[in-house]
Chains A and B, each alone.
Chain A
Amino acid sequence: MTNKLQVEAIRKGTVIDHIPAGQGVKILDRLQLLNSDVSITVGFNLPSKAQGRKDIIKVTDLKFTEQEANQLALFAQGATINVIDEYHVVDKFNMTVPETLRGAFPCPNSNCITHNEPVNSYFYLREKDDDIRLKCHYCEKSFSKEIVSEL
């Protein structure tokens, strides 16, 4: 049985494939924060030739921009984004960790000024060993991606 049969194909929308197994839930959380109105189909822990096991998420009627995809990259390095129209892949890109992230989630430092002011959170990202470090533009504190993914 192939993956395609395990998770039904969508006519129009975005498929996030090759998500490291176990990370799908975090992506799902973020997706619902970004857009709570879309239909989402998920497959967790599916067999994958390349990865052994993977998660997959299909979002109907929502076409991701590269910017939106990059916000999710923090939680699923190496995942791929397929933009689908009439059952065909019309655009495909790898999720890459962006250099900066604005407004994706609040600064984990509760005493950071951004919590009470009319600005978006703003982080500089840096890959370090197996982690991604995020440094707040304002309070200058650095955080592991594990901390922000729990917010």
Chain B
Amino acid sequence: MENQLYLRDIISIADLNRSDLEQILETAAQLKRAPRPDLLEGKVIASCFFEASTRTRLSFETAVQRLGGTLIGFSDSSNTSAKKGETLADSVKIISSYTDAFIMRHPQEGAARLASEFSNVPIINGGDGANQHPTQTLLDLFSIRECQGTLDDLTITFVGDLKYGRTVHSLVQAMALFGAKFNFIAPDALSMPDYLLEELDEKGIRYRKAGSIEEVVPESDIIYMTRVQKERFDETEYMHMASKYILGVESLKGARESLKILHPLPRVNEIEVAVDNTPHAYYFQQAENGVYARQALLALVLNKSI
């Protein structure tokens, strides 16, 4: 297959079509089966975290090293020229001139798109403010494909904070390309934004808002849990509603054997620890898959053919 990702910037999940996604996921599966420590040999990759994110950074940096590449960069912006007032545009011009690709995370929305306009090498977005985090979506898709054997025609239930969760929004948009059906379970104050529901309506995607997890467990292939942040509610209100958005072993009665539970992590208490021991728990494999998804992306962006 022709490599459609070669030398492309990876900024937003919306920039990737179905065949791009399939190519990345297939490559991730191959690299998981058979490591290729030669694919980034001789390449220097910038890993610039203008905002700290330990998990994402370690996952990216592991991916680069597993492919034989080397890294330069920083894990937060406190000792960089950004602190002195240099524009991101200037930083990117300089750092990109040293490297073969530029992985970045930044606290402001649009930072990665802007960087792509000033960089000579591909930009990989590791999160720009509340906007996009495409590699999280890729690892979610990879995990779903891995545990279900397909991405087509699945029923996916999202639980928790569906308003602010960018991982939820991107995954919904991506899974819509594969004919998924969605259930949404969230407190009113944290329900799916209207603009996204409108998008689903326009595409003819089936979805419904459900009242409880138990109600939709039997029909679900995937339950995607997210954290409801305490600080968004006053204490009594939180105590009142939080229990509805917690997944326990009891809630899983009547589940399909193949049902898997995903969570972008970190988890606090929204999935009871006892669930970890059920065959449905898949969130730790999901986190591990982040390395393979990122390897696939880097390998495709930096190699004309694999």
Label chain B's interface by main secondary structure: mixed
For residue B131, CB closer than 8 A to chain A, the reply is yes
What is the minimal beta-carbon distance from A134 to any residue of chain B, in angstroms?
13
For residue A117, CB closer than 8 A to chain B, the reply is yes
Cβ contacts under 8 Å, B14 to chain A: 140
> Could you tell me if B109 and A113 are in contact, using CB atoms closer than 8 angstroms?
yes
> Could you tell me if A116 and B109 are in contact, using CB atoms closer than 8 angstroms?
no
Question: Of the candidates B89, B130, B195, which one forms a contact with A117 in the assembled complex, judged by CB atoms under 8 Å apart?
Answer: B89
Interface size (B, Cβ < 8 Å)? 20
Cβ contacts under 8 Å, A138 to chain B: 109-110, 113-114
A111-B130, A119-B89 known; A141 and B109 CB under 8 Å? yes
- Which chain B residues numbered 109 to 131 have a C-beta less than 8 Å away from chain A? 109-111, 113-114, 117, 128-131
For residue B16, CB closer than 8 A to chain A, the reply is no
Question: Of the candidates B87, B107, B131, B195, which one forms a contact with A139 in the assembled complex, judged by CB atoms under 8 Å apart?
Answer: B131
Closest residue to B195 on the A side, CB-wise? A142
Question: Of the candidates B12, B108, B117, B132, which one forms a contact with A112 in the assembled complex, judged by CB atoms under 8 Å apart?
Answer: B108
Cβ contacts under 8 Å, A139 to chain B: 108-110, 128-129, 131
Which of B12, B108, B129 counts the most chain A CB atoms within 10 A? Answer: B108
> Could you tell me if A113 and B114 are in contact, using CB atoms closer than 8 angstroms?
yes
Interface residues on A, range: 10 to 19
Closest residue to B115 on the A side, CB-wise? A113
Label chain A's interface by main secondary structure: loop
Cβ contacts under 8 Å, A140 to chain B: 12, 14, 109-110, 113, 131-132
What is the minimal beta-carbon distance from B84 to any residue of chain A, in angstroms?
14
For residue A45, CB closer than 8 A to chain B, the reply is no
| Contact digits for B179-206, partner A, Cβ 8 Å, 1 yes 0 no | 0000000000000000100000000000
Cβ contacts under 8 Å, A117 to chain B: 87-89, 114
- Which chain B residues numbered 86 to 118 have a C-beta less than 8 Å away from chain A? 87-89, 106-111, 113-114, 117
Q: Which B residues form the contact surface with A (CB < 8 A)? A: 12, 14, 87-89, 106-111, 113-114, 117, 128-132, 195
Query: 8 A-B residue contacts at CB 8 Å?
Result: A109-B109, A111-B129, A113-B110, A116-B87, A116-B88, A117-B114, A140-B113, A141-B131
